[in-house]
Structure 1
Amino acid sequence: MSKYTSFPEPGDDHNPFQDPAVTQHSSNTEYATLDLYNPFDNKNGPPPPAYAATAPSAPQPVVPATTPPSRTTPTEPRNYGTSFTPQTAVNATTAELLRKQEELEKKARELERRERELDSHALGPGATRQNNWPPLPSFCPVGPCFYQDINMEISQSFQRTVSIMYYYWMFTACTLAFNLISCLSLFCVDPSGGVGLGLAILWVLLFTPCSFVCWYRPVYKAFRSDSSFNFFAFFFIFFVQVIFYVIMTIGIPGWGFSGWIVSLAALKTSVPVGVIMMLNAILFTAQAAMGVVLLKRVHSLYRQTGASFVKAQAEFATGVMSNQAVRQAAANATASAAQGAFTGAAR
Structure 2
Amino acid sequence: MAENNFPPLPGFIPLKPCFHQDFEEIPDQHRTLCKRFYYLWILYGVTLLVNFFGCMAWMFGGGGVTNFGMSMIWVILFTPCSYVCWFRPIYNAFKTDSSFYFMAFFFVFMAQLFIAIIQAIGIPGWGVCGWLGTISFFGTSIFASIIMLIPTLMFTAVSVISFLALTKVHNFYRGSGASMSKAQEEWVSGAWKNPHVQQAAQQAALSAATGAMQNPQSPQYSTPTYDNTM
Which category of TM-score, normalised to the shorter sequence, fits these structures? Answer: 0.7 to 0.9
8 Å CA contact 1:183–1:196 kept in 2: the answer is: yes
2:135 equivalent to 1:264: yes
Q: Give the aligned residue type for 1:229.
A: F
- With normalisation by structure 2, the TM-score equals 0.81
In structure 2, what is the Cα distance between the partners aligned to 1:234 and 1:242? 12
8 Å CA contact 1:195–1:254 kept in 2: the answer is: yes
In structure 1, what is the Cα distance between the partners aligned to 2:130 and 2:52? 12
Deviation sequence 1:183-224 (CA, Å, 0-9, x none): 01111121x521111111111111101100000000000010
In structure 2, what is the Cα distance between the partners aligned to 1:309 and 1:265? 45
In structure 2, what is the Cα distance between the partners aligned to 1:312 and 1:268? 52
Shift of 1:320: 5.2
1:170 maps to which residue?
Answer: 42
Q: How does 1:326-341 map to 2 (within 5 A)?
A: none
Shift of 1:301: 1.6
2:114 maps to which residue?
Answer: 243
Shift of 1:305: 2.9
Shift of 1:138: 2.1
Residue 275 (structure 1) aligned to one of 143, 146, 161 = 146
In structure 1, what is the Cα distance between the partners aligned to 2:184 and 2:146? 49
Q: Give the aligned residue type for 1:157.
A: Q
Richer in helix (by share): 2
In structure 1, what is the Cα distance between the partners aligned to 2:55 and 2:12? 33
8 Å CA contact 1:219–1:231 kept in 2: the answer is: yes
- Where structure 1 has 5 or more consecutive residues not aligned to the other structure, the ranges are 1-127, 325-347
Q: Secondary structure at the match of 1:268?
A: coil
Q: Give the aligned residue type for 2:7.
A: P
Relative contact order higher in (CA < 8 Å, ≥ 6 apart) = 2
1:148 maps to which residue?
Answer: 21
8 Å CA contact 1:226–1:307 kept in 2: the answer is: no
> Which shows bigger deviation, 130-139 or 178-187?
130-139
2:3 maps to which residue?
Answer: 130
Deviation sequence 1:70-97 (CA, Å, 0-9, x none): xxxxxxxxxxxxxxxxxxxxxxxxxxxx
Q: Give the aligned residue type for 1:200.
A: S
Q: Give the aligned residue type for 2:10.
A: P
2:176 maps to which residue?
Answer: 305
8 Å CA contact 1:215–1:238 kept in 2: the answer is: yes
1:296 maps to which residue?
Answer: 167
In structure 2, what is the Cα distance between the partners aligned to 1:307 and 1:206? 32
| CA RMSD between the two structures | 1.5
8 Å CA contact 1:219–1:230 kept in 2: the answer is: yes
- Where structure 2 has 5 or more consecutive residues not aligned to the other structure, the ranges are 198-230
Aligned-pair identity (%) = 42
